[in-house]
Amino acid sequence: MKRILITGASGFLGSHLYKVFNGDYVVFGTYYTQTITVGNFIRLNLEDKDEIFRVLSEIKPSYVIHNAAVSNPDKAETDKETAKKVNLESTKVIVNWCHRNKAKLCFISTDQVFDGKSSYYKETDPVNPVNYYGITKVKAEKIVLEGENNAIFRMALMYGRSAFRQYYKPEWIWGDFSRRKKIKVFVDQYRSVLCVNNAAELVKKAIDIDFSGILHLGGPKRISRYEMAKAICRYRGISTDLLEPVRHGQVDLLAPRPQDVSLDISKAKSVLKIPIFSINESLRRYL
Ligand SMILES: NC(=O)c1ccc[n+]([C@@H]2O[C@H](COP(=O)([O-])OP(=O)(O)OC[C@H]3O[C@@H](n4cnc5c(N)ncnc54)[C@H](OP(=O)(O)O)[C@@H]3O)[C@@H](O)[C@H]2O)c1
């Protein structure tokens, strides 16, 4: 069986990636602060280049899914040094190791490489990030594409439950509503939201068929954050009255957010040929 290393397998998407690959591949996952005690897990600090090199050389994977990141745009904006090391510098080390050892690198990127001024972005559309998180991902993508067999999966906003620890994302909509405090939700920020379980299945299929190049992985339809929140509230049996619709620009965030980074997923549909579920179907199916 082929050996695969997944960075950030303790995180939200990483935990599902670990689960879907396990059995068909010999899977190794890395964690940093959230110790995982089941399976093949190794601690890895991506800020330490020697440690990255040592872990890769010990495991000798044929595939690396570089999924770990400073994934919160506000955190990346306020601690640029760490975001640069984790999202960009670590990618350079992994690209080099993979190149020298003939391993395939699959890089988990984001819809936030786009500026959000358009809609339904294609893989060939020009990137133009509006925040530091997006900048680190764009720079890392360029390095990843130096290896011709490498792959980049640009993920849309994902929702659902972590596979290892009992928490849900996005936190603001799955949180404790018992205090009945209103939540401000954007009515005019659009995403191709995708359930994290479905996301992991799509990445697995892409790797199974040895996809290389850039692939957009998102849900079948562009919806606003407000529509997403309403669907999750309905699923949870919570009144949607607690959602306060606000417009982009009415709320100050530490990092700017692109307005509409919905993804055109026609390439994913034609090459992967597995179902991509809407939010209502996914909530029924996976949660
Ligand atoms: N969530 C989304 O909606 C979304 C949308 C588009 C793209 N993405 C991309 O998808 C990937 C996964 O996102 P996620 O939401 O699953 O993120 P997450 O839950 O925040 O997980 C991040 C992972 O990275 C690890 N990590 C962070 N700093 C590290 C460091 N210095 N050294 C080693 N590992 C480190 C964390 O380890 P510990 O927790 O053990 O510290 C964790 O396993 C990221 O590349 C993100 O950019 C996510």
Query: What's the confidence (pLDDT) of residue 172?
Result: 86
* Residue 162 CA, ligand 1 centroid: distance in Å: 12
pLDDT by position in tens, the chain (length 287)? 999 999 999 999 999 999 999 999 999 999 999 999 889 999 999 999 999 999 999 999 999 999 999 999 999 999 999 999 999 999 999 999 999 999 999 999 999 999 999 999 999 999 999 999 999 999 999 999 999 899 999 999 999 999 997 899 998 888 876 666 788 999 999 999 999 999 999 999 999 999 999 999 999 999 999 999 999 999 999 889 989 999 988 888 999 999 999 999 999 999 999 999 999 999 999 99
pLDDT of residue 179: 65
Atom of ligand 1 nearest to the CA of 108: 45
Q: Which of 13, 152, 166 to mutate to test the pocket of ligand 1 (most atoms within 8 A of CB)?
A: 13
- Quote the CA–CA distance of 51 and 275 in Å, as a whole number: 38
For the chain, which domains are there?
Answer: 3-224+255-286 (3.40.50.720)
List of E strands, the chain: 3-6, 26-31, 41-43, 63-66, 104-110, 151-155, 158-161, 168-169, 183-186, 190-191, 194-195, 213-217, 223-224, 243-246
Using DSSP's 3-state secondary structure scheme, residue 14 falls into: helix
The pLDDT value given to residue 45: 98
Name the residue with the closest Cα to ligand 1, atom 26: 68
Q: Choose the residue to mutate in 71, 225, 263 for probing ligand 1, maximizing ligand atoms within 8 Å of C-beta.
A: 71
Q: Which of 32, 75, 133 to mutate to test ligand 1, by most ligand atoms within 8 A of the CB atom?
A: 32
Q: How far is the CA of 239 from the centre of ligand 1 (A)?
A: 31
pLDDT at 182: 86
pLDDT at 93: 98
